[in-house]
Amino acid sequence: MDTDSSENPLLEAIPLKRIGTKWDIAMSVLYLCSTAGQNITGSILVNDGGNWLYKPQILDRETV
pLDDT (0 to 100) of residue 16: 82
pLDDT digits (tens, 9 = 90+) for 12-47: 878 888 888 999 999 999 999 999 999 988 888 888
pLDDT (0 to 100) of residue 10: 76
- Alpha carbons within 13 angstroms on the beta-carbon side of residue 16 total 13
Average pLDDT over residues 3-11: 68
Which among 23, 13, 21 is positioned nearest to 50, based on CA atoms?
A: 13
pLDDT: which is higher, 29 or 5: 29
